[in-house]
Structure 1
Amino acid sequence: MLIRQPMWLLSFLLFITNTNALDVKLATQAPIIDGIDNEPQWQSAQWQPLDQVIIGGPLESSDFSAKYRLLWDTNTLYIQLNIIDDVLYDNHPNPLDGYWSDDCIEVFIDENASGGDHQYNHNAFAYHVSLDNQVVDLAKDRNPALYNQHINSQWTRNHQAPYEITWELAVKVFADSYQDNQQNTPVVLSAGKKMGFMLAYCDNDGSPIREHFIGSKDIQPLEGDKNRGWIDASVFDTLTLIK
């Protein structure tokens, strides 16, 4: 006899079987967010691959490749990426219009690693960070909004394709009690804290919509859909902050 499991149970089982654990070291000194990889504190952080295709066909390394590493202090989660991309594309001057189809970084953070739905709430955040360093997520009213005060972002590149990019971000972490259009205080980070986290990149070489969406982890498809990070925080990895 075929027994059909309820959807919430399937989602939970995916969460407990497909979540990786990452330890993130305390920064000896806060990195300067300038898109330049010249600070010794980054050397204690281990590079992690950004290589799992969530949307799009097979991806050639000459088209896109990337890796990232993380640090933290009491105020901030720090992210540094090394990216190779043959085309940098930004076709939407309005940062709230079609932001997911331009080249951008996506930073997914679930402050208390609770998992679950965050599509139109702040149980978790899915920040889109554009080439002009605008930061967008969906607000509780289901419309995109700017969250530039949450992330300080800067990048540099060489001047000939394929572009080698160093992109650095300093991310303030907010709890699920966050309220839009009100004063909110970031969470104070400490050793032992666990957070849900995923990183991704939207890659577009000139098409009306993004051609690839590349993530930091392999997401098991739910009803054929791998693009679950912007809806369900249960697919994130779990970070543990360590000294």
Structure 2
Amino acid sequence: MRIIRNTFLITLITINHLGSAAQGFPAKYARLFTLPNTYVAGPTSTTINIDGQANEPAWQDAAWTSEFRDIQGEHMPHPTYPTRIKMLWDANNLYIFAELEEEHIWAYYDKQDMIVYHENDFEVFIDPDGDTHNYYEFEVNAQNILFDLFLDKPYRNGGKPNIEWNAKGFESAVYVDGTLNNPTDTDKKWCIEMAIPFSSLSTDGNFIQPEAGDIWKINFSRVEWQTEIIDGKYTRKTNNDGELIPEDNWVWSPQGVINMHFPERWGLIQFSSEPPESTHASFELPEAELLARHLWHVFYAQRDYQHEHKTYCNDLATLGIQATGQENSTGFLLKMKASGKTYTATLTTNNNLMISIDQDGLLHLQTDK
């Protein structure tokens, strides 16, 4: 539920050399335009026993993701310990299996909805319709304690976490290759297996049932604290001023900013009808995903402008944004209307696609038939 040490003013995010994925966008926003990681989840026709060990044949055939990286991106040091995941699905559930290598496995929180990111944990973020609003977060520690919540919109836009929300039917199990909360030995890893019912991703009983070929926004985070042993117990380290040393945040698809609550930066999962493969599969990014980045350019620039001028801008050129452009072979036109406290930017393509964004970062896609 937290905002992690985020630089609220987007202009503070700068980098000079990022690769072709961010070309065409200003350097100060470049980390926010690297392409997301993707994963193709195959179906399982057999029952998955949630025991933390992923022994079923479908798991053996499923591909591992690439290893997690620092939340800020590839330019940061590689994480101390490897983390990777697999995914499967059936008509009822999304299945996730995570493997977290770790020399010292610890967790003391032992009650539902305790704030487990105050300890080392594993986190899942899901936005089924990809509009960056109304999304779900699941956090689990090595004692298999779940902290789940729903957000109507990101914190940056005034979102308020609904901690009372619970994912009905959610299952998880943790397997520890080592000994929990024992500082005298060296552990190997802990594994988490989850079943997230699609029907649980709802606040009013209505939910999105994925079909083969559908694509959802999803990301995963691992929180890792520096610790020391005090009176035989793992304790988070502090600096010379007595303040906690900030945690490391390792993720599947880098955010470009130390904040998981930029849903537009999450990775993508595609639900496939084909059996899981032992080799890593990927898919071509949807055209709308590439085009929407130009609206996010407007969003980031408007936030900076509003921070300085206390009002939103009504002119794309003033924001340094061109009104026309092209993504691959698709040409597009950008238009914007602002009225001080609100704005709407709309992108229209030459093949009848229309996408819009507003000051809250709500993304809306429609096809103009």
Shift of 1:76: 0.7
The question of whether the paired residues in 2 share the 8 Å contact of 1:151 and 1:172 is answered with yes
Name the counterpart of 1:145.
Answer: 164
Q: Looking at both structures, which has the greater relative contact order when contacts are Cα pairs under 8 Å and sequence separation is at least 6?
A: 1
Q: Residue 236 of structure 1 corresponds to which residue in structure 2?
A: 266
Pick the aligned partner of 1:207 from 236, 239, 263.
236
Would you say the 8 A contact 2:136–2:149 is kept in 1?
yes
User: Which residue among 28, 53, 57 is the counterpart of 1:36?
Assistant: 53
Secondary structure at the counterpart of residue 166 of structure 1: strand
What TM-score results when the alignment is normalised by the length of structure 2?
Answer: 0.51
Alignment pair present for 1:164 and 2:189: yes
Using the size of structure 1 for normalisation, the TM-score is: 0.75
**Structure-2 separation of matches of 1:129 and 1:46:** 22
Match of 2:105 in 1: 88
After superposition, the Cα gap between the structure-2 partners of 1:89 and 1:172, relative to the gap in structure 1 and judged at 3 Å, is same
What runs of 5+ residues in structure 2 fail to find an aligned partner? 1-10, 12-24, 153-159, 180-185, 228-234, 238-243, 274-369
- 1:198 CA displacement: 0.5
Q: Which moved more, 1:185-194 or 1:73-82?
A: 185-194
| TM-aligned CA distance change 1:110 to 1:14, over 3 Å | farther
The DSSP-based 3-state class of the residue aligned with 1:48 is: coil
- Answer whether contact 2:105 2:187 (CA < 8 A) is retained: no
**Contact 2:121–2:139, Cα closer than 8 Å, also in 1:** yes
For 2:44 and 2:66, locate their aligned partners in 1 and report how far apart those are by CA, in whole Å: 20
Whole-angstrom distance in 2 between the partners of 1:43 and 1:110:
27
Following the alignment from structure 2 to structure 1, what is the Cα–Cα distance between the partners of residues 150 and 236? 23
Q: State how far apart, in whole Å, the 1-side matches of 2:58 and 2:214 are.
A: 21
Q: Deviations over 1:54-110 (max 9, x none)?
A: 27x84664xx22111111111111111122112223344555454222121110111
Match of 1:136 among 148, 162, 172: 148
- How many residues end up aligned between the 2 structures? 218
**Paired residue type of 2:249:** F
* Maintained 8 Å contact 1:75/1:189: no
Root mean square deviation of aligned Cα: 3.3
1:10-68 CA-to-partner distances (Å, cap 9, x unmatched) read 8x98776422332111113231111123211112211013421127x84664xx22111
Greater fraction helix? 2
Counterpart-to-counterpart distance in 2, 1:191 and 1:232: 26
User: Cα 1:125–1:150, aligned 2, differ >3 Å: closer, same or farther?
Assistant: farther
Identity %: 16
Asked whether the equivalents of residues 75 and 187 of structure 1 are also in contact (C-alpha less than 8 Å), the reply is no
Distance 1:71 1:96, change over 3 A: closer
SS state at 2:236 partner = coil
Give 1:22's match in structure 2, choosing from 13, 30, 39.
Answer: 39
> 5 Å matches for 1:69-84?
69-84=86-101
Aligned structure 1 segments of 4 or more residues deviating by more than 6 angstroms: 12-16
The one-letter code sitting in structure 2 at the alignment partner of 1:214 is W
Partner of 1:190: 211
Asked if the contact 1:50–1:200 (Cα under 8 Å) also holds between the matched residues in 2, the reply is no
Amino acid at match of 2:39: L
Distance apart, 1:137 and its partner CA: 2.0
